[in-house]
Amino acid sequence: MATILVAGVDLFFRGKLDAALGGAHRLVTAESIDPPDLVIVDIARVDPDEVADAYPETPILGFTNHTDTAGLRRAHAAGFDRVVVRSALAEQASDIVAELVR
């Protein structure tokens, strides 16, 4: 079971992520004292550079709406390990997380 920090993720989408992951991982916020095994970031709500600086040794998965091409580019430039559109994450969360948490 991995500890996954969710940053900027709204409550509705967090519930979708939790359901898609089948409870196999523990979702936490920045207030958690446990170091994360993965960080999932809503690029539209959180600055990608700040997240990359805060978690340099942790895999980072960023997502945003398909129309936010500037946000997708910012996340790639910040060095995120994976950047996807929101709909792809909702559909493939389990597979994507499994790739990043090894």
pLDDT in tens, 21-63: 988 899 998 888 889 999 999 999 999 999 999 999 999 999 9
Does the pTM surpass 0.85? The reply is yes
| Average of per-residue pLDDT across 2-23 | 91
Give long-range contacts, CB 8 A cutoff, 24+ apart: 25-30.
25/1, 25/97, 25/101, 26/1, 26/2, 28/3, 28/4, 29/5, 30/5
Cβ atoms of 26 and 4 closer than 8 Å: yes
